[in-house]
């Protein structure tokens, strides 16, 4: 409690000193004048006081008044105050802390406001000058040489040490404040980056869900309309599949939006909350193939190598890439068949989706957000993706994914 009060009062004094700098300096100069006047009247018991009272008063007055400029001209203040003090000592005034008060204040402000090299140079010159003057001053003839030197040295070292500590403390506080400001800016930038990444992730997820199911629904509806009169039974089956496609789209959209509203603590969920579906993976490829078949696209899936377990993020990414690639075939190509090849090699999974159709003129394949989203998904887990026309015709999407993500697997938690 006492430390807090002391700190509060210290902060208030610093604010007052910064707001009324001239008044503080003037009060300090008046106090130093009183100290110098009192110091000039002191003598040793066996020594006679000097006769130049007016001269000493003028010298000490100048030494004190020059301190009014110590904030802007600390070197000049030290030189003038030191010169006046040396002159007073030469005139025979006794070297006491009161007489040295002006030059001590000048040295303190010099150490506080300037660099270490400047403080060292001016401080050494000032101390040597005062010590030499004290050694040869007749007012101190009754004292030994050790006392003549150790006294001025000790008293002039105090303000230098105190000023140096004050300067270091200010530099430390400034460094702490700078680090705090940098940390705050870094936190804000990191928060903005995370928000941007989350928005991009949600945008990719919603794009994959909506684009895939809507494209299938559109293809199924078109096929049903085309076969309505000639093949009523097949039309009925397609319409049934269309209902399943739209229901699946609604479930995935509900799951995605549910994650956006979900609290960090699952225990906080109400008793009426429904469990969210798990994130889709390659295990749902048969369902995807069946949905594409109902839209008129025959999909063949082949697997090479020994299937390896995938992390949730990689499994979701692999499924979404295959889903988006087949959706692009349905929307942008005239192909009636597509091939999906899964190759497990070492620590990577190679996925290739190809078709032999030609791109529709109004929506050339490989443009828009589909390929961009697939590439972003692959890069987010440390994989690579290439997409483009095949030399022999058609279009091909190839991606290489690590079995375990090399970066943050944040995708694995989103359905």
pLDDT tens-digit series, residues 256-296: 666 565 544 444 444 444 444 556 788 888 888 888 887 77
What would the two tokens of residue 57 be? 């008063």
154-181: per-residue pLDDT in tens?
A: 999 999 999 999 889 888 888 888 888 8
What is the average pLDDT across 108-114? Answer: 91
**Residue-by-residue DSSP string for 221-262:** HHHHHHHTTT-HHHHHHHHHHHHHHHHHHHHHHHHHHHHHH-
Predicted confidence at residue 266, as pLDDT, reads: 44
Predicted confidence at residue 341, as pLDDT, reads: 94
Sorted by sequence, the CB contacts under 8 Å of residue 328 that are 6+ apart come out as 365, 370, 371, 395, 397
pTM of the model: 0.47
Query: From CA 41, how far away is CA 158, in angstroms rounded?
Result: 23
- State the helix-helix crossing angle for 145-227 and 232-261, rounded to 10 degrees: 160
Please tell me which residue, 19 or 80, carries the higher pLDDT value: 80
What DSSP state is assigned to residue 303? E
Query: From CA 288, how far away is CA 295, in angstroms rounded?
Result: 11
CB distance 305 to 350 below 8 Å: no
What is the average pLDDT across 384-407? Answer: 85
Class of residue 238 by CB neighbours under 10 A (exposed 0-12, middle 13-18, buried 19+): buried
- State the helix-helix crossing angle for 145-227 and 101-113, rounded to 10 degrees: 30
Query: From CA 368, how far away is CA 358, in angstroms rounded?
Result: 17
What is the average pLDDT across 15-24? Answer: 73
Look over the chain and give the mean of its residue pLDDT values, rounded to a whole number.
78
**Residue-by-residue DSSP string for 392-412:** TSSEEEEEEEESS-SS--GGG
**Sorting pLDDT into bands at 50, 70 and 90, what band is 303?**
very high
Nearest to 291 by CA among 219, 340, 347, 342: 219
Predicted confidence at residue 2, as pLDDT, reads: 56
Nearest to 60 by CA among 17, 18, 106: 106
Q: What angle do CA 296, 297, 302 make, to 5 degrees?
A: 150
What DSSP state is assigned to residue 51? S
What is the average pLDDT across 120-138? Answer: 88
Residue that has been written with the tokens 């050694």 in this structure: 135
């Amino acid at each position: 409690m006492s430390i807090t009060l002391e700190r509060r009062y210290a902060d208030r004094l610093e604010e007052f000193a910064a707001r009324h700098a001239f008044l503080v300096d003037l009060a300090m100069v008046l106090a130093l004048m009183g100290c110098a006047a009192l110091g000039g009247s002191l003598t040793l018991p066996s020594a006679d006081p000097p006769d130049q009272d007016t001269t000493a008063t003028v010298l000490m007055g100048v030494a004190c008044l020059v301190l009014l400029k110590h904030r802007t001209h600390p070197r000049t203040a030290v030189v003038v105050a030191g010169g006046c003090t040396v002159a007073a000592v030469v005139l025979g005034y006794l070297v006491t802390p009161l007489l040295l008060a002006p030059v001590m204040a000048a040295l303190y402000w010099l150490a506080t406001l300037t660099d270490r090299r400047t403080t060292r140079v001016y401080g050494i010159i000032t101390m040597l000058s005062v010590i030499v003057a004290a050694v040869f001053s007749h007012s101190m003839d009754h004292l030994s040489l050790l006392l003549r030197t150790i006294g001025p040295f000790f008293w002039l070292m105090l303000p230098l040490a105190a000023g140096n500590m004050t300067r270091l403390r200010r530099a430390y506080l400034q460094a702490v404040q700078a680090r705090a400001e940098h940390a705050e800016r870094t936190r804000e930038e990191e928060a903005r980056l995370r928000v941007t990444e989350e928005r991009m992730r949600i945008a990719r997820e919603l794009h994959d869900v909506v684009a895939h199911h809507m494209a299938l629904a559109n293809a199924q509806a078109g096929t049903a309309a085309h076969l309505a009169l000639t093949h009523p039974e097949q039309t009925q089956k397609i319409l049934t599949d269309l209902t399943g496609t739209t229901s699946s789209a609604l479930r995935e959209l509900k799951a995605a939006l549910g994650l956006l509203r979900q609290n960090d603590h699952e225990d906080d969920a109400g008793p009426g909350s429904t469990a969210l579906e798990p994130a889709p993976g390659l295990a749902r490829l048969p369902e995807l193939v069946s949905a594409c078949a109902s839209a008129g696209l025959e999909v063949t899936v082949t697997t090479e190598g020994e299937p390896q377990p995938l992390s949730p993020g990689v499994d979701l990414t692999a499924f979404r890439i295959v889903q988006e690639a087949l959706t692009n075939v349905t929307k942008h190509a005239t192909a009636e068949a597509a091939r999906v090849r899964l190759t497990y090699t070492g620590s990577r999974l190679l996925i290739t989706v190809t078709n032999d159709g030609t791109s529709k003129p109004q929506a050339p394949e490989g443009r828009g957000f589909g390929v961009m989203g697939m590439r972003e998904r692959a890069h987010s887990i440390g994989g690579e993706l290439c997409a483009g026309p095949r030399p022999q015709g058609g279009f091909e999407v190839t991606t290489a994914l690590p079995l375990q993500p090399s970066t943050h697997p944040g995708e694995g938690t989103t359905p």
